[in-house]
């Protein structure tokens, strides 16, 4: 699973869910909590203008 957070052309691709919180804390300077990230993802909302997306990597099979 890969997580992508974006804001106005700035993009962070992260491999671990817990990294989202750390990056948002660094970018915003606010005390972002894990529950905030979870709620934002569930309701497709942004945190301080940052959009969080999940990318499911699917391997293609060549026959």
Q: In this structure, are strands 2-7 and 50-55 parallel, antiparallel, or unpaired?
A: antiparallel
Write out residues in the chain with pLDDT < 50, as ranges: 63
Q: What is the pLDDT of residue 1?
A: 85
Q: What is the pLDDT of residue 35?
A: 95
Q: What is the pLDDT of residue 56?
A: 83
d(CA 61, CA 2): 20
């Amino acid at each position: 699973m890969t997580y992508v957070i974006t804001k106005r052309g700035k993009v962070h691709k992260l491999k671990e869910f817990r990294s989202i919180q750390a990056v948002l804390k660094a970018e915003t300077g606010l005390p972002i909590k894990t529950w905030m990230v979870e709620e934002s993802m569930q309701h497709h909302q942004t945190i301080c203008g940052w959009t969080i997306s999940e990318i499911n990597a699917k391997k293609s099979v060549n026959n």
